[in-house]
Structures are given as C-alpha cells and as structure tokens.
Structure 1
Amino acid sequence: MADMHTMPPSPLRDQNIGLALAALGAALFATKGIFVKLAYAQGLDALTVLAWRMILAVPFFLAFGLLAYRDRRRGKGRHANEKVPPRSVFGAVLIGIMGYYGASLLDFLSLDLITAQLNRLVLLTYPFIVLVLGAVLFRRRLTAPVIGAALLAYLGIAIIFGHDMVIEGDTVLAGTALALASALAYALYQLFAKPLIDVLGPRLFTAIAMTAAGVMVLVHFFWTHPFSALAIAPDTFWILLALALAATVAPVLLIAAAIGSIGAERTAVFGNISPILTIILAIIVLGEPFTAIHGAGTALVICGILLFTRLTTQPAIASREEGPIS
C-alpha cells in the first residue's frame, strides 16, 4: 500500500484549495473601503491615504515583477527567453496610470462622500461598462439578457442612491458620480490591459503598471501636499498597512493563485460575496445605516451581477477581482 504522505494531491483537494483561495481573496478585497473610511476618520484625505497605500504596496509588486523578469531571462514560464518589447512596457505604464492611479483616486475620493456600501455596489457594476465600451469601440454584440441584467443592477443602485440622496443631499450625487467615473476608468483598463498582459505576463505587467501609478500618485501628492503631510500617528499607520497588505497585496496574490487553480470564471463568482461582506463590515465597524431600502437595492444589484456572471464567459470580464478598485 502506498504511503499516504507520498501520494500526490488529488484534483478534488486542489479544487477545494482553489475555491478557498478565491473566497479568501474576495473577502480581503471587501475590506478596502472599510480601511479607507477608518483612515479618513483619523483626519487623512484621499490622496494621502492613496499615497501611503502605494508606498507600502508597490515594493511588493515590484519584487514580484523582478522575479518574473528573472524567470523570463532564465527560460522559465510561459514567456521564457522572450524579449520585453519597449512598446509594451510603455503601454503598461499608460494603462497603469489610468487604472491604478486614475481609477483608484476616483474611488478614494468617492469614499470620502458616500457610504462604503454604495461605493462597493457601484464599482461592482463595471463589467457592464466593459460590455458597452466593447460594443461601441469594437462592435461587440450586446444581448437582451445581458442588458436586462445591467438594468436590474443599476435599478438597485438607483433605489439606494435615491434614499441616500434624500438624507445626505448633494454629496451623494458627487460621490456616486466619482464611483461611476472610477468604474469607467477601470473598464477602460480592463479593455486595453489584456493584450499587454498576454505579451508581458501578469506579474511583470502588474509590477510595471503599479510602479508607474505609484510614481504618479507621489508626484500628485507632493505637488499638492508638503512632505510633512506624510507624518501619521502609529495607530493610523497600522490602518494604512492593513489597507496596503491585507486589502491590496494579499488578495491580488490569492486571486491570481485561485485563477491558476480553478480558472477565471469560477474565481469571479466569489467576487459576488465581496459586497455582502463590505456591507456587513460597514454596519459593524463603521456604524453605517442599513435599512429595508438598502436591502432591496443590494439584492437587485447582486441578482443582476449573478445573472450577468452566468450569461458572460469572457475572461476579461470574468476575472474582475484582480484590479485596482476591487
């Protein structure tokens, strides 16, 4: 009888590990808005929080990129011994600035004006924008069921938006507009990033894009803030460290591992638990209100997203938990 300790892992075990990685990655992504809100409560503004996120997270992504480049030079992996085209590097820089800088900044500004719950639900609908942009720019076909799923999700957002607008006023309008703009920027990122990822590989692409965005964030920060604005209390530092590592670096790695194990489409399904966890955390940690109207709107959004996930099989849309605004 073969020694159980020497037997290779079963496919079922590998699948279960992949599912667990996807669930944990989605759960960690759900904490992003919570940590940002906690940092705001310490008196920081959006750009300072984003600058610290980049300062703490970019070195990790840069290290992963250097390892990917080393493997490439040593003849390992899918892109073994392939040269790195300067044009693709330049493209990754531009895409990174649009996605990891533009979309993230709009996202963080939005969180300063609306609840973490509404922000998360608005961002969750960006795959619909990907489809619309694909139809406009590349003449991809939109089907009636997919349009129906989008309308269902946006109806849910409209219900919550209308309720919060009555209570909070114009800040809800501005915050929701910023969240939609963030979703648009990330949708553009999704459309144009995939060809570059195919050439550079995901690790090298992410390292280049994230580093370029980090430089852009710091240029923006020091253009508008004195260096002393980076001074923070120890308690605030731990919040920002959690934002950078627990809500950024760790989930990106977990989701990437999950995609490698169970595929992008199955991994994406777990993204649908993320807004639910954000809502629970927002209620418990931040004390945000959650009424029957919020519940109805949230249910419509999640139903729309679930329907959309079942109707679409495009990898660029299915792997929606990999990016900057997740």
Structure 2
Amino acid sequence: MKSNLRETLAAPALSEDGAVHGAAWVGIILGVIAAVLYSLKAVFVKLAYLPTEGVTEQVPPITLMMLRLGFSFPIYLVILFWVWRRTTVKPKAKHIGLAMLAGILAYYVCTLLDFTGLQYITAQLERLLLFTYPAFVILFGAMFFGGRLTAWGIAAVALAYAGLAIVFLGGDITESENLWLGSGLVLGCAMLFALFQLIAKEFIDRMGPPLFTCLAMLGAATAIFLHFVVSALATDGLVDAFDLPARVYWIGLIIAVFSTLLPSFFMNIAMGHIGAQRVAILGMFGPLATIIAAIVVLGEPFGLWDAVGTLVTFVGIALYMKSSRTKPRQT
C-alpha cells in the first residue's frame, strides 16, 4: 500500500489526453518559478559587477561563488545529513567520490566559466548561449554514451544556432569589447554542463536525486573554498578578500537563496508532479525573464534582430525537446 501511494504521489498529475488536473498546476507553477529564478542569476551577477563608489576593483568571480556557497551550502549540508541517515543502502566510497567530482565539474568549473564570462557579455546573451546546451547533450550522447542522432534533432539544433547567428550578426546585445572571450567562456560552460547531465544520470539512478545533489555540492564546496583561499592568500589576504561593499553581500545572499536553494527544491517538486520533460519545456520562461530583467534593471539594449534571433533559438530548442521525448521505461 505504501509503495502504491508513493508511486501515485510521484506520478505526473496529467490525464492520458494531456489535460492538466489537480496537483499538476502546482508542478507547472513551481516549474516556471524555478526556471525564472535560475535565469535571474545572470542579472544578479551583473549587478554585483557594477562599480561601487570608492571601490576601484571589481569583485572577482570566485568571491561571488564563495558568497553564494557560504549562504547556501549549510542548508545542503543539513539535507545531506538528513538523507544519509535515512538511506538504507549506503553508496560505496568510489561512487561518493565520483559524485563529488561530478559536482566539481558542474558547480565549480561551469560556474567559474559562467561568472567569468558575464564580466564580458550581457546577461541576455549569456542566457541565450546557455539555453542551447541541449545541442551538446545530443552531440556528446551520440559520441560517448550510445545515443543516436535523429534528423529532427539535428534540424532543431541547426535552427537554434541559426537564431544565435542572427543575434551575433545584427543584434544589439552582442555589443562588447570582449564578445568572443565572454561568449567562448559561457559556451564552454554549456558544453561541460551538458556533459555533467549525461554523467550524472547514472549516479542519480543509483543513489537518488537528493543524495547525489548534496554530495555534488559538497565536492563543489571543497573546490570553491580551496580556490578562494589560495586566491586570497596570493593577493591581499583573507581579511581583505572579505572587505566588500554591503550590496555585494546582499547580492550573494539573494543568489544563494533565490537562484540556488529555492529553485533547486521547486524544480524537484515540479518534476514529481509533471515529469522532467515538461519541466524542461517550462525552462523556456527563463531566458524571457532574463531579457525583461536585463532591459529594466540593467538597461541593456534589445533590438529587432535580437528579438528575431531569440525567437528562432526558442523555436529550435522547443522542437528539440519535443523530438527528444522518450517513452517511459517499462518496469
């Protein structure tokens, strides 16, 4: 009886004809909120990079990462302790270590590339570049994980990158002295995040999402802490490294709570109600939120060709998600 109840609660709350019923609305709402909060991270980071009166140096990316981690990781640590106590079959030390290495890849290396890239390009372009990571999922899946390329998938990816080409050739959001450096860093982030998703699937199936996420964050926390300490000691020391404007601390707290903790929980709940595929589709609200916030809050430009290119990219990614929908595994 308990098993049946658990399966019922975890199943997508949609009818066979796809109509939305009951708790599915909770999943849809939380999925949209999670996508928006995750995407607003770019705007918050750009706000932290804005010059402060009396401060000559820009806050380093690793410092922002340290603040984000310092405010959010204690909560993940509590969850790790709670989940570990309730895990009957403990993972082997080898699998724990590999999960932590995967976390270093996703939450340290990828974040460092992303935060550094945001020093050079607009928040809108960053989000648009990251939004194309499914293309690398297709490519790496076919190259290393036994996946296969489909005509629909290739066409959808080509359409998405055609939209990016339109933005690069005629858009206003690409105005930057270091456009190619910033774009290359963020694109590298997208590539590595796609690789992480393919690697992480085995660990999630083996130990469950909560335990894997917390172990991954533990690995990333270790790498970020060591990087921050070494960087601080090599420059002005730890004390001066924390001598930051108050608004940077507030932005670090906002990123930790609203662009890390809350969306991670909201997304897990949403996937339980409506499934991972529909949550991924709802992720299209994220770049839209970034565009609006970047224009209103940061004063970034957004012209006609930016709109055309962004729309083409959205359509391409939407077609990819539709073409990659898989049938549920039989048990």
- TM-score, structure 2 length as denominator? 0.86
Residue 49 of structure 2 is aligned to residue 34 of structure 1: no
Aligned to 2:213: 206
Aligned to 2:320: 308
Q: What does residue range 24-103 of structure 1 map to in structure 2 within 5 Å?
A: 24-41=33-50, 42=52, 43-72=58-87, 81-103=88-110
Residue 308 of structure 2 is aligned to residue 296 of structure 1: yes
Judging changes above 3 Å, is the alpha-carbon distance between structure 1 residues 170 and 38 closer, same or farther for their aligned structure 2 residues? closer
DSSP-derived class of the 2:35 partner: helix
C-alpha offsets along residues 171-221 of structure 1, whole Å, 9 cap, x if unaligned? 010111001100111111111111111122111111111111111012112
DSSP-derived class of the 1:13 partner: coil
Q: What does residue range 175-324 of structure 1 map to in structure 2 within 5 Å?
A: 175-225=182-232, 226-227=237-238, 228-313=240-325
Judging changes above 3 Å, is the alpha-carbon distance between structure 1 residues 269 and 165 closer, same or farther for their aligned structure 2 residues? closer
Cα offset, 1:118, TM superposition: 0.6
DSSP-derived class of the 2:295 partner: helix
* Alpha-carbon distance in 1 for matches of 2:121, 2:176: 10
Judging changes above 3 Å, is the alpha-carbon distance between structure 1 residues 222 and 131 closer, same or farther for their aligned structure 2 residues? same
Aligned to 2:32: 23
Cα offset, 1:106, TM superposition: 0.4
Judging changes above 3 Å, is the alpha-carbon distance between structure 1 residues 89 and 37 closer, same or farther for their aligned structure 2 residues? same
Cα offset, 1:167, TM superposition: 6.9
> Which ranges of structure 2 fall in alignment gaps of 5 or more residues?
1-8, 14-20, 53-57
C-alpha offsets along residues 113-138 of structure 1, whole Å, 9 cap, x if unaligned? 10000100110111110110111113
Aligned to 2:18: none
- Which residue, out of 107, 110, 113, partners 1:106? 113
Aligned to 1:13: 22
DSSP-derived class of the 2:325 partner: coil
The aligned length equals: 298
Root-mean-square deviation (CA, aligned residues, Å) is: 1.8
Cα offset, 1:166, TM superposition: 10
Contact 1:88 1:200 in 2 (8 A): no
Moved more, 166-175 or 195-204: 166-175
* Alpha-carbon distance in 2 for matches of 1:255, 1:282: 23
* Alpha-carbon distance in 1 for matches of 2:177, 2:292: 25
Judging changes above 3 Å, is the alpha-carbon distance between structure 1 residues 167 and 264 closer, same or farther for their aligned structure 2 residues? closer
Cα offset, 1:234, TM superposition: 2.3
Contact 1:152 1:301 in 2 (8 A): yes
Q: What does residue range 132-147 of structure 1 map to in structure 2 within 5 Å?
A: 132-147=139-154
Q: Which has the higher helix share?
A: 1
* Letter of the structure 1 residue corresponding to residue 190 of structure 2: A
Contact 2:167 2:174 in 1 (8 A): no
> Which ranges of structure 1 fall in alignment gaps of 5 or more residues?
1-8, 73-80, 316-326
* Alpha-carbon distance in 2 for matches of 1:94, 1:167: 34
* Letter of the structure 2 residue corresponding to residue 287 of structure 1: G
* Letter of the structure 1 residue corresponding to residue 277 of structure 2: E
* Letter of the structure 2 residue corresponding to residue 142 of structure 1: L
DSSP-derived class of the 2:147 partner: coil
Judging changes above 3 Å, is the alpha-carbon distance between structure 1 residues 39 and 250 closer, same or farther for their aligned structure 2 residues? same
DSSP-derived class of the 2:178 partner: helix
C-alpha offsets along residues 132-171 of structure 1, whole Å, 9 cap, x if unaligned? 0111113421011111111111111122223469974550
Identity score, percent: 37
Judging changes above 3 Å, is the alpha-carbon distance between structure 1 residues 166 and 190 closer, same or farther for their aligned structure 2 residues? closer
C-alpha offsets along residues 69-114 of structure 1, whole Å, 9 cap, x if unaligned? 1221xxxxxxxx2122111101111111111111111011111110
- TM-score, structure 1 length as denominator? 0.87
- Which residue, out of 122, 128, 139, partners 1:115? 122
Contact 2:110 2:193 in 1 (8 A): yes
